[in-house]
Amino acid sequence: MAPIKPRISVEYAGNATIITFTDEKILEEKDIQALQESIMSVVEQSERINMILDFRNVRFLSSSVLGLLIRISKKIYECDGKLRLCNIDPKIYEVFKITRLTKIFDIYQDIESATEGSSTAD
């Protein structure tokens, strides 16, 4: 059976749920759909989730992935949860900056600062 892509890994640190994208590029619409289903099911399993999305492996994304992130953030905020992004490659950070998505996402340099941010959040 072919491995399911794209993959995510899920870890728990304190009260934070850390989701790491394991693929370098997230391109196809069906991959984005699969990611959405996986992440939404994690969101639904917790009450007031403190989610950190770790981009350490991601080197390229398209505007469809930005749309996915907005859908995830809306879902999390609806459930009174928190969302943080971290370890974003400088070229991808530039995409967030020019689209002004840095205004709506909490972006941290690394997992340590993102985890600290989530432990100080109420």
Partner 1 sequence: MLVAGWSLSLQTHCKGFLKWHKFMASKTPISRSIAVESTPSAIIRVCKHILAELEANNFSRDDIFAVHLALEEALINAVEHGNKADADKEVKINYLVDPDKVEISVTDNGNGFNPNIVPDPRYGENLYKTGGRGLFLIRSYMDVVEFNERGNRMRIVRYKKKPHASG
Tell me which residues touch partner 1 (CB under 8 A).
27-30, 60, 62-64, 66-68, 70-71, 74, 91, 95, 98-101, 103-104
CB 72 within 8 A of CB 36: yes
To partner 1, the closest distance from the beta carbon of 12 in angstroms equals 28
To partner 1, the closest distance from the beta carbon of 14 in angstroms equals 29
Provide the 3-class DSSP secondary structure of residue 8. strand
φ/ψ region of 11 (left if φ > 0, alpha if ψ in -120 to 50, else beta) reads: beta
Decide whether 11 or 94 has the Cβ nearer to partner 1: 94
To partner 1, the closest distance from the beta carbon of 119 in angstroms equals 27
Decide whether 2 or 103 has the Cβ nearer to partner 1: 103
Calculate ∠ Cα 2-17-72, nearest 5°. Answer: 75
